[in-house]
Structure 1
Amino acid sequence: MPGMDEFTQVVASGEIDALTSKKDGLRLKAKLAYLPALSIFILFACGVAVLGHFWNSKEMADHRQSKRSLADVIQGREALAVERIYKDVFPIRDFSTGLLNLISFKIFGEARKGLIKGSDGWFFSDEEFSWNRKSLSMLEKHLNFVEDTLSTLREAGIEPILLLIPEKADIYRDKLGDVTVPSSREHFYENVRLRLITMGAPVPDLREAFLQAREQKPVFLKSDTHWTVQGAGVAAGSVAQVLAHHPELKHKEFTLKPEEEIVHMGDLYKFAKFSIFEPFVPMPGDALTSLAAMSADASLDDLLSDENEGPEVAMVGSSYSANAKWSFEAQLKAEARVDVINFAEEGKGPFAPMETFLKEKLHEQKQLKYVIWEMPLRYFDEVAY
């Protein structure tokens, strides 16, 4: 029957298709059987390539030339040294770190270490959001150090002026995006400033001054932890108001000369390690015009005075004072009309430079009458300095 023949053909065709699929499945299964072995081979090849890159690296070649003893091998020092080199030259380290940072930055709005992404292109340090079980004890330790330092300065006949710098995240809370200031730091500036005031030293309210000044010009850099030149100028004006009550200081006129404008890539970008993925993350710099203090024509009193006496006002502190980019020293000279000697240091916070000053510099500065101690608030609860 024609119908039966058609049915037979369909069945036969189906059987053939089934047999064909079965054969294809067997062939695919046979191919997949090689996948574990192939994967192991690829991993082995990658391992050999990584080992070869590591062994032939300049760092490892230099290490092989160094002297090592049997004790270094037995006690594990050699293994630790090789491990450190391996971590530095690992071929995909930058790639993997960059990829993880990119994912964290794009999805969660923060880099894996140190960087908080705000709104409108603002970046913040996570140091201004942290508070742990050691924070309170470190705060007390630093406050005790400040109190001891003030006593030492007064014994030397020097009056201290404390310049407490508020946190960027506090002044620009409206630029934090989805991040909020933790309750532990809600009144951090006011509380620390009050403790400092009870020690008897002038402490200008720089937080209030910054909140007013930011309505005209930015007082902190978008991509940096530091203040702008304008913010440093506000601080200089606050200190000058304190010094204005002491006419016994020798005054000297300074004029401010603008330097060439540059684009400053902020220090917060050092936490944004995106490796080859940097093109996917816009990182604009901040326009910056530094100021240089130029001494005006010397007066007759200046010419007759002892040139070896030196400035009567010293500055000690962190990179806020040490780095000439922010022009704090220059603006302080112009605002207060006094010469200043600068003992601030970059990268050490406010406390270590003061320790160095007390131990190594104080006894040499017989002419000093005032020491301005610049201290960013965010260092007060840090574990180390």
Structure 2
Amino acid sequence: MTRPLRKLYVALFLGVLLLLFVWSMRGVLSYDAPKQFTVLDGGLAKTFESHYDKQFPVKNIGTNVWAALDYLLFNEGRPGVLIGEGEWLYSNEEFDAVADGQQQLNDNMALIKGVRDELAERDVLLVLAIVPSKSRLYPEFVGDNRLSSIRENLYQRFLDEARNAGIAAPDLLTTLQAGKSNGQVFLRTDTHWTPLGADLVARQLSETVNRATTLDGEPQVFVTEAEGSAPYMGDLTRFLPLDPLFADLMPAPDQLQKHVTRAPEPAAGADALFSDSEIPVALVGTSYSANPKWNFDGALRQHLQRDLSNHAEDGLGPIIPMLKFLQSDELKNTPPQLVIWEFPERYLPMANDLSAFDTQWLSALKQPDGNRHLIASDRL
């Protein structure tokens, strides 16, 4: 920040404080004490506080004002978002350095290989769906934002490491880059892909699966239909608290097309519900798989022509849902033939809170030689 700009920021800060002070006096002067009130138990204070908050919602005003100053003067939002060009928003997790990032990367790769081995012991094939970062797919809009050194070649390093470990992992970056000519594959105001991006990935994964194995059961015709579009303010707009005072400064919403995948009609005399043993595929991952807005699991059903069980979860990253799945009754009693693990690249160097899991089990899982007998399926 240059010296004149710093002075301007300080002047604006003092000016806003003065304006807020003057405005706040309205709430004080307009207060009328109730005819009956108590002082000792705080009753009078509570009525004054309630009146003052209604007359002067200082928290919301202050939040809007400072957010507007940061946005207009410095092209910045709250920690969590980076503002690109053309109203494109990016998660700072795609760019920032990570404390002990290389060690976390190594630990997470060891866990991934342990998952591969644990599934293989149950004759379950692992397919890793490495989701490239939005900034890698749309670098033309990142503006002045720059990747930290650990993230510069992260996708290719992750892909190479997985393939060197014998894990099936298609190059989804190339798939999505080619798909950009057909439409937007990631949302402009959100961290996630569009239904088009999810469909392209599902199609590529199905081709990878078909080359690697033959899924059990008869193919089933799942049909995906578009059900119109609607304005959608993505999750990254939460880091721009401009509404309501400066709502006009907000990026324009995305247009999100809704897709729904419907199951085939059951044959005459057949049970309408599939039993667990008839579901050959399990999906594990993050909100890219869990959120129905993107219809990723539906697209996978359509292209694989098989039903699947979805174990993805919002807000936990990719590793914790997989560790839960490894200890699930489904894997223990009716293991699928195939597990698709959706894993965004940005999570590879990030730490995970694994305190809910047995440390001895986790340690054994990361060992190159296994010691898989230490796994206790009933412990979380």
TM-score of the two chains, using structure 1 as the length reference: 0.73
Alignment of 1:1-385 (within 5 A): 56=46, 91-245=57-211, 246-250=213-217, 251-298=219-266, 307=275, 309-385=277-353
- Structure 2 CA distance for partners of 1:280 and 1:313, relative to 1, 3 Å: same
Q: Tell me which amino acid in the other structure corresponds to 1:145.
A: L
Structure 1 residue 353 displacement after superposition: 0.8
Q: Distance in 1 between matches of 2:48 and 2:200?
A: 49
* Alignment check: 8 A CA contact 1:168 1:225 kept: yes
* Alignment check: 8 A CA contact 1:320 1:328 kept: yes
Over residues 165-203 of structure 1, what are the superposed CA-to-partner deviations in whole Å (9 max), with x where a residue is unaligned?
Answer: 000011100011232334432211001111111221101
Q: Tell me which amino acid in the other structure corresponds to 1:168.
A: K
Q: Distance in 2 between matches of 1:296 and 1:94?
A: 50
Structure 1 residue 273 displacement after superposition: 1.5
Task: From the CA coordinates, give the structure whose radius of gyration is larger.
Answer: 1
* Alignment check: 8 A CA contact 2:261 2:298 kept: yes
Q: Tell me which amino acid in the other structure corresponds to 2:46.
A: N
* Alignment check: 8 A CA contact 1:257 1:291 kept: yes
Over residues 313-356 of structure 1, what are the superposed CA-to-partner deviations in whole Å (9 max), with x where a residue is unaligned?
Answer: 00000010001110111111111111111111111111111111
* Alignment check: 8 A CA contact 1:153 1:160 kept: yes
* Alignment check: 8 A CA contact 2:286 2:342 kept: yes
* Alignment check: 8 A CA contact 1:315 1:343 kept: yes
Q: Distance in 1 between matches of 2:235 and 2:319?
A: 20
| Greater alpha carbon shift after TM alignment, 359-368 vs 96-105 | 359-368
Q: Tell me which amino acid in the other structure corresponds to 1:204.
A: P
What secondary structure does 1:372 align onto? strand
* Alignment check: 8 A CA contact 2:266 2:272 kept: no
TM-score of the two chains, using structure 2 as the length reference: 0.74
What secondary structure does 1:259 align onto? strand
Q: Tell me which amino acid in the other structure corresponds to 1:311.
A: I
Q: Tell me which amino acid in the other structure corresponds to 2:119.
A: L
Q: Distance in 2 between matches of 1:129 and 1:376?
A: 14
1:63 match: none
| Greater alpha carbon shift after TM alignment, 362-371 vs 225-234 | 362-371
2:6 match: none
CA RMSD of aligned residues (A): 3.1
Q: Tell me which amino acid in the other structure corresponds to 1:379.
A: Y
- Structure 2 CA distance for partners of 1:360 and 1:177, relative to 1, 3 Å: same
- Structure 2 CA distance for partners of 1:127 and 1:248, relative to 1, 3 Å: closer
Over residues 10-59 of structure 1, what are the superposed CA-to-partner deviations in whole Å (9 max), with x where a residue is unaligned?
Answer: xxxxxxxxxxxxxxxxxxxxxxxxxxxxx9xx89x97x96xx99952899
Structure 2, unmatched stretches of 5+, are: 1-17, 29-41, 51-55, 354-380
| Greater alpha carbon shift after TM alignment, 337-346 vs 246-255 | 246-255
| Greater alpha carbon shift after TM alignment, 322-331 vs 171-180 | 171-180
Q: Distance in 2 between matches of 1:157 and 1:109?
A: 52
| Structure 1 residue ranges, 4+ long, deviating more than 6 angstroms after superposition | 57-60, 300-306
Structure 1 residue 240 displacement after superposition: 0.4
Q: Distance in 1 between matches of 2:112 and 2:166?
A: 11
| Greater alpha carbon shift after TM alignment, 367-376 vs 223-232 | 367-376
Structure 1 residue 242 displacement after superposition: 1.5
Structure 1 residue 238 displacement after superposition: 1.2
* Alignment check: 8 A CA contact 1:173 1:181 kept: no
Structure 1 residue 221 displacement after superposition: 0.2
| Greater alpha carbon shift after TM alignment, 186-195 vs 292-301 | 292-301
* Alignment check: 8 A CA contact 2:96 2:147 kept: no
Structure that is richer in helix per residue: 1
Q: Distance in 2 between matches of 1:324 and 1:174?
A: 28
Q: Distance in 1 between matches of 2:49 and 2:264?
A: 53
Q: Distance in 1 between matches of 2:124 and 2:72?
A: 51
Structure 1 residue 100 displacement after superposition: 2.0
Give the aligned length.
Answer: 313
* Alignment check: 8 A CA contact 2:102 2:150 kept: no
